[in-house]
Amino acid sequence: MEFTLEIFLVAFILLVALAFYYEHPKAEIPREVDQHIKLYILHYVVNFAFGLSWIRDAGNPFFQESQPNTNARSQRVKSTLRMDSNQRLRGRILEKLGICKEVYLIRTFLYGIPPWKDNANLFIEDLKFAKVSVRVYHPKVPSAGQRRGVLYLHGGVGQIGSIGMYERVCRFIARRSNSVVVCVGYRLAPEHPYPTQFLDCLTATVHFMTTAEDYGVDPTRIIICGDSSGGTLAAAVCQTLVSRTDLPKARAQILLYPFLQAVDFNLPSYQQNGSVPLLLKKRTITLGMQYLNQDLSLMKGILEGSHVPEDLKLKFSKWLSPDNIPMEFKIRGYKPSASATYSEELYTLAKPVFETTFSPLLAEDAIVRQLPETFILTCEYDVVRDDGLLYKKRLEDNGIPVTWYHLENGFHGALFLIDYGYISFPCGKRAMKNVVNFIKDL
C-alpha cells in the first residue's frame, strides 16, 4: 500500500512538471498588464488544471510549427489519424488512473471559492426555468416599484463555467445595482453537445421574460449579460429575440470581452495578445473546436483561414476588415496576414463556426439594427479585443446606442475574480463598477 502511494505521488509530480513544461512557456505578460506578477501566478494555477488534463503528445501536428502545409488528401487523412491517436493518449492519464475525467478536473480547479452566505443583503434561491437550472438573487432592500432584471450567461466555452463559478459576480451585480439577477446554469458540453447551451439560455430567457413580474421585475427592463463565451450566448440570444413579437424587447445587452467570430484569427488583437493569459490564442481555438465537437486536426487550417471561401470573405470583409479597427489598437504591432489557400473540405467540416449562434458578428444588418442598447467591455491585452471593437462599429453603424468601456491594462477573465479580496484585480473592479453604473441608468 505504501509503495503504491509513493508511485502515485511520483506520477502526480511528473504530471505537474509536464503541465508547467508544456503550458507555462507560452505566456508573455507585458508589464503594462494590471498586476502582471499576480496574473503570472494565476496563469500557473490555471495551467495546472489544463496541463494535468491536456498533456500534449509530441506528435500532435497542430503544435509542430515546422509541419509542411499541404492540401493533399492523403496528408490530411494521415494527419487526422495521428490526431485521433494523440487524442486517445492526450489527457487520459488521470482517467486511466481512475481519478476523474479530464473535463471534470478542469471544472473542479476553476470552480472558485464559495463566498459567505449573503443572507443580510440578498434572497438567493435555486429554481428551474422550464427545466433549465437557474439561481435567482433578489435584493432584500425594499423597492418602490418593479426592479430591473439581469439575466447572466456565464463564460467557460460551454464546457467549464457554472453558477457556482460566477456566484460572486452575480451577487456583486445584484447588491450594487439593486437588480434581480438570474444566473443561468445551462448544460455543458461534451455531455450535452452544442447548441444545447444556446438553447438552454434562450429557454431560460423566454421563461424569465414571461414570468418577470412574479419576481418583482419589470418585463420591459430585462438586461441580457454575459462574459467571454457567455457574451457570445448573450449576443446570440438577443439576435434571436428580435423576431419574437410575443415577448417584450430586451432593454439592453451587456457583452463583457465577448468572443464573436471564428472567421479571422489573425486580427491585430490575436497577433498582439496570442500569448497573454488567461485566454491564449491556441487555447481559444482548441476550446472552440472541442465545444463544437470538431476534430482538432481542423485547427491549423482554421487558424490560417483556409475554411473561408472567397464569396464569404468578400461578404464578411465589410464587417471584419482590420480597417474597421482604430489605428491606436495596431501600434503594438500588426502585420496583415497572407491570404490562405481555400479548402472546400475544411469549409464543409467547419460549417458550424459560421452559425450566428457561434459567431454573432456575422448576423445580417436587418437583425443588428433591431438590437437593444448595448454595453461592450474590451481589454487591451485580450485576443478577442477586436471582436468587441468590430461589433461596436457594426452596432453604431446600424444606429444602436453603444456604451463602450476599454480596460487599457486589462486581460481576458479580469472580472471573474471580482469580490475575492486581495486576489481580485483592480482593473476588474473598475470595469464592474462601470457595468453596474450602466445598469442603474437604465
Active-site residues, by number, are 228, 382, 412
Please report the DSSP string for 357-406 in residue order. Answer: TT-GGG--HHHHTTPPEEEEEEEEE-TTHHHHHHHHHHHHHTT--EEEEE
Cell reading at 162? 457554472
Q: Are 57 and 86 in contact (CB under 8 A)?
A: yes
Q: Are 347 and 379 in contact (CB under 8 A)?
A: no
Sheet containing strand 402-411, strands side by side: 122-129, 132-139, 180-185, 147-153, 217-227, 252-256, 373-381, 402-411
Dihedrals phi, psi of 367, to nearest 5 degrees: -85, -45
Roughly what angle, to the nearest 10 degrees, separates helices 426-440 and 167-177? Answer: 50
Cα 45 from Cα 22, distance rounded (Å): 14
Closest residue by Cα to residue 381 from 401, 354, 410:
410
Cell reading at 308? 473561408
Query: Interior CA angle at 187 toward 182 and 188, to 5°?
Result: 120
Residue 34: partners with Cβ closer than 8 Å, 6 or more residues away: 407, 409, 410, 411, 414, 425, 426, 427
Angstrom CA distances, 76 to 85, 119, 294, 417, stand at 14, 58, 15, 42
